[in-house]
Chain A
Amino acid sequence: METIKKNRISPQKRLVNFLVHLLLATLSVIWVLPIVWIVLTSFRAEKGAYTSTFLPQGYTLDNYIKLFTDRTVLNFPKMFANTLIISIICCVLSTFFVLSVAYALSRMRFGFRKTFMNIAMILGLFPGFMSMIAQYFILKAMGLTEGSAVRIGLIIVYSACSGLGFQIAKGFFDTIPKSIDEAAVIDGCTQWQVFTKITMPLSKPIVIYTVMTSFIAPWVDFIFAKVLCRANADQFTVAIGLWNMLQKEYVYQWYTCFAAGAVIISIPIAILFIYMQRYYVEGMSGAVKG
């Protein structure tokens, strides 16, 4: 009796199911289409930003080759190297800052704790650009806006304030039972040992999450990099390079290369993202609980 009931689906239900799947298929096409389009464009043989057909007429690998060999106008390999150096150093510094602050706020109890969290909340309400110009002036006063010092300036700016982004990591640390720490302390661990030998190994997901987010940041920021680099083409990061390729003077020659560059930086970021997606979800649901 039970099995027969299960197998029989009413026609109305079947129609609903069909419509749902149709809807999901349509939406998926809408969501995937721009990405497919950019991949196709990156292999397009015709030059220029605008073509009279939606799909390319001919396919070629030249755009990728030009991107990595043409160093005269927009030196993409150099930009790539710049961004890589900046992001590796930032990644180390920011990860250290974020995890330190998050751990201290989650595990230690001290007078300044609540104040710090309130200040962080208030600072978060100011638009980021408010301080951008002033940061530029401060870096200028330090002599970090000329020549290769720009790189140091960018590293400082990307990592200096990262301590304020502690919420997700703190939410994660909050979920680790305190009794583990207490047991370790009874066994003679210092707080430092608890942090490095006990909490860190238990927090692999959030460490990976923090490392990846801080590694990605310099690849996708073009606003501050643009303000700091100005016309200093030697110090450009990938994001400014891609942005420049779409400006009037370059767009005809470089549009398809832009697509190629976009695909190239998207692939590693996409892989990182798909890999860390579940940590992202865990971090979010942790933060919501608190």
Chain B
Amino acid sequence: MKERKITALNALKHGDLLTRLSAVLMGIGIIGHGQLVKGLLVFLLEAAFVLYMINSGLSCLALLPSLGDREAEKVWNETKQVYEYTMGDNSQVILLENVITLFVIAGFIALWIVQMRHSYRLQLMKEQNEHVPSLPEEIKKLFDGNLHITLMTIPCIGVLIFNIIPLFYMISMAFTSYSKEDEHLMLFDWNGLTQFKRVLNLGGNIGKQFWSVLKWTIIWAIFATFLNYIFGMILAMIINRKETKWKGLWRFCFVLSIAVPQFVTLMIMNIMLQPSGAINVLLQNLGLISSPLPFWKDATWAKFTIIIINLWIGIPYTILQVTGILQNIPAELYEAARVDGAGPVRTFFSITLPYMLFVTTPYLITSFVGNINNFGVIYLLSAGGPTYVGDTAGQTDLLVTWLYKLTIDQQYYNLGAVIGIMTFIVLTAVTLITYRNSGSYRNEEAFM
């Protein structure tokens, strides 16, 4: 007999009666071919799906185009002699239900395909007189050859419900008018790419803010990533020098700052750098300055302060991460450089840096992504400020902190969603470009 691929389509074309019947009555083929419990389970799932669709799914999908348009109304109740409020539609709930329903339908289709294929596989096994595994055997296999199913199912469900569905929900918000602007918090409609146009339009107020926030986000990410990287590496090398004494002590001093939770250190830094905070007091008492330095009041000062504090936070991490790799650099390379008469600076730029860049590109990409999404540092230090009157984004806001302000503080959900999508696009572009241009991608054996 010709070997046929086990696909849902082949199951429909070449399956026996039971297999074809399971296109409608799901699970029947599996039961008929000898796996009762599994088949019943599939059948029950189908029944649950049908019940769900009849009870709420279909009525919910019907509202998808309009997202609901009944407003909450005051109705005069004659008998009680009071005004009563009728429940209007809540578009946000309708949208959420729709996203969930669409995922349920997708899950159902996947289940349909899987059960068709399974039924067909069982049928072929029977035809070739192979042994059809019984329930105890199947369960035993879940702890052996199919262990990955046992291990991955619950984590995957968690990710699906609390990461993927929320993400799709948020993305769909970008195409609606869900916002506090014009009072669209209860009822809103689809409005296509309006918000995207608004964000990308350089002339408008929101557009101007977007481009300035984007510019600062990228500048910040570049400075934060590379300054931390370079300075951390230099410090690690200085500590690693043969002649340096008390290596453990120095390392301990730097690493101590990682051990304190980051949000605590950031809040402390914020307080210390206030106009009447500890640093200004110290400098004034020493007579170095006469009036407090405007660490958070002035945009340029704030930007420098943030980058420098981030060095304080980030350098210890770099030291931890690169110390081991630095020691792996082949000693012959340094030896050769010394023989050729290269000084320490030349050696660093011609040997250490290229080697480190080659090995740590994946780490650099991760930390770049982490910096673009670095909420804590900005939110706790400057809170995005200083902010011009009338703007929603401050001078030191990153895309993420702006996203937070737009959704949590301002309730401009649609605009926030657009900013989130933009952040994703920027990150994807940066990651792909760096990765493709990196040495470790183009030439995997450069240092082997």
Interface residues of A (CB under 8 A from B): 13, 17, 20-21, 23-24, 27-28, 30-32, 34-35, 37-38, 49-54, 97, 100-101, 103-104, 108, 110, 112-113, 116, 119, 123-135, 137-138, 141, 156-157, 159-164, 190-192, 195, 216, 219-220, 222-223, 227, 239, 242-243, 246, 255, 258, 262, 265-266, 269-270, 273-274, 277, 280-281, 284-285, 287-288
Of B18-26, B60-68, B261-269, B333-341, the one contacting chain A is: B261-269
Contact status B264-A163, CB under 8 Å: no
* B residues 265-317 touching A (CB-CB < 8 Å): 265, 267-269, 271-272, 274, 276-278, 281-282, 285, 312, 316
CA distance A243 to B282 in the complex (A): 25
Least Cβ–Cβ distance between B429 and chain A, in angstroms: 10
Contact of A23 among B167, B238, B278 (CB under 8 A): B238
Q: Does B136 contact A (CB under 8 A)?
A: no
Q: Tally the A-B contacts, defined by beta carbons under 8 Å.
A: 253
- Name the A residues within 8 Å of B140 (CB-CB): 190
A50 CA to B272 CA in the complex, in Å?
Answer: 9
A-B contacts, 12 of them at CB < 8 A, read: A101-B155, A128-B373, A129-B407, A141-B93, A161-B158, A242-B264, A262-B260, A262-B261, A266-B264, A273-B259, A277-B320, A285-B325
Q: Are A103 and B151 in contact (CB under 8 A)?
A: yes
Which of B48-56, B118-126, B199-207, B359-367 sits within the interface? B359-367
Chain B residue at minimum C-beta to C-beta distance from A101: B155
Select B274's contact among A30, A50, A161, beta carbons within 8 Å.
A50
Contact B238 A192 (CB under 8 A): no
In the complex the two chains form, is B263's CB within 8 Å of A288's CB? no
Scan residues 90-109 of chain B and give those whose CB is less than 8 A from a CB of chain A.
Answer: 92-93, 96
Q: Which residue of A lies closest to B269 (CB)?
A: A34
Beyond A110-B148, A131-B166, A191-B144, whether A246 also contacts B267 by CB under 8 A is yes
Contacts of A30 in B (CB 8 A): 312
Q: Which residues of B contact A119 (CB under 8 A)?
A: 164
| In the complex, residue of chain A having the shortest beta-carbon distance to the beta carbon of B143 | A192
From B34-42, B219-227, B247-255, the one touching the partner chain is: B247-255
Chain B residues whose CB sits within 8 angstroms of the CB of A239 once the complex forms: 263
Contacts of B423 in A (CB 8 A): 126-127, 130
Asked if A141 and B96 sit within 8 Å, CB to CB, the answer is yes
Assess the B325–A101 pair: CB atoms within 8 A.
Answer: no
Complex-state Cα separation, A131 to B155, whole angstroms:
17
Which residue in B96, B147, B363 is a CB contact (below 8 Å) of A137? B96
- Contact (Cβ within 8 A) A126 B264: no
Query: What is the interface of chain B, defined by CB distance below 8 A to chain A?
Result: 92-93, 96, 140, 143-145, 147-148, 150-152, 154-156, 158-159, 161-167, 169-170, 235, 238-239, 241, 243-245, 249-250, 253-265, 267-269, 271-272, 274, 276-278, 281-282, 285, 312, 316, 320-321, 323-325, 359-360, 362-363, 369, 373, 375-376, 379, 399-400, 403-404, 407-408, 413, 416-417, 420, 423-424, 427-428, 431
Q: Across the interface, do B169 and A288 meet the contact criterion of CB distance under 8 Å? A: no
Interface pair A17/B369, CB less than 8 Å apart: no
Q: Is A138 a contact of B147 with CB atoms below 8 Å?
A: no
A-side contacts of B417, CB under 8 Å:
130
The answer on a CB contact under 8 Å between A160 and B259 is: no
Query: In the complex, which of the residues B166, B239, B263, B400 contacts A222, with contact meaning CB atoms closer than 8 Å?
Result: B263
Is A192 a contact partner of B147 (Cβ separation < 8 A)?
yes
Contact A100-B152, Cβ < 8 Å, known A190-B143, A191-B143, A239-B263: yes
Q: A277, B325: Cβ atoms under 8 Å?
A: no
Q: Is the CB of A125 within 8 A of B403?
A: no
Question: Do the beta carbons of B259 and A21 come within 8 Å of each other?
Answer: no
**Contact between chains at B420 and A32 (CB < 8 Å):** no
Q: How close is A21's CB to chain B, nearest CB, in angstroms?
A: 7
B166 touches A138 (CB 8 A): yes
Q: Within the assembled complex, what's the spacing in Å between the Cα atoms of A259 and B143?
A: 50
Residues of B within 8 A of A160 (CB): 158-159, 161-163
Beyond A34-B265, A49-B271, A160-B161, whether A134 also contacts B363 by CB under 8 A is no
Contact A246 B256 (CB under 8 A): no
Find chain A residues with CB under 8 A from B155 CB. 97, 100-101, 162-163
Which 6 residue pairs are nearest across A and B when measured between Cβ atoms? A163-B155, A134-B166, A270-B259, A160-B158, A131-B166, A192-B143
B54 to nearest A CB, angstroms?
Answer: 20
A35 pairs with B260, CB closer than 8 A: yes
A48 CB, min distance to chain B CBs, angstroms: 10
Q: Are A54 and B278 in contact (CB under 8 A)?
A: yes
> What distance in Å separates the Cβ of A169 from its nearest Cβ neighbour in chain B?
12
Q: Is the CB of A28 within 8 A of B164?
A: no
For the complex formed, measure the closest distance between the CB of A280 and the CB atoms of chain B, giving whole angstroms.
7
A273 CB contacts on chain B under 8 angstroms: 258-259
Measured between alpha carbons, how far is A170 from B170 in the docked complex, in Å?
30
Q: Is the CB of A242 within 8 A of B267?
A: yes
Cα–Cα, bound, A280→B324 (Å): 12
How many Å from the CB of B224 to the closest CB on chain A?
A: 16
Would A163 and B156 count as touching, CB distance under 8 A?
yes
Report the minimum CB–CB distance from A255 to chain B (whole Å): 8
- Establish whether residues B375 and A129, one from each chain, have CB atoms under 8 Å apart when the complex forms: yes
Contacts of A219 in B (CB 8 A): 261
Please determine whether A159 and B144 come into contact, CB atoms closer than 8 angstroms: no
B321 & A284 in contact (Cβ 8 Å cutoff): yes
CA distance A97 to B324 in the complex (A): 29
- Kindly list chain A residues whose C-beta atoms are within 8 Å of the C-beta of B152: 100-101, 104, 112, 116, 163
| A128 cross-chain contacts in B, Cβ below 8 A | 373, 375, 400
| Residues on A with beta carbons closer than 8 Å to the beta carbon of B257 | 31-32, 34-35
- Given contacts A20-B238, A190-B144, are A265 and B424 in contact (CB under 8 A)? no
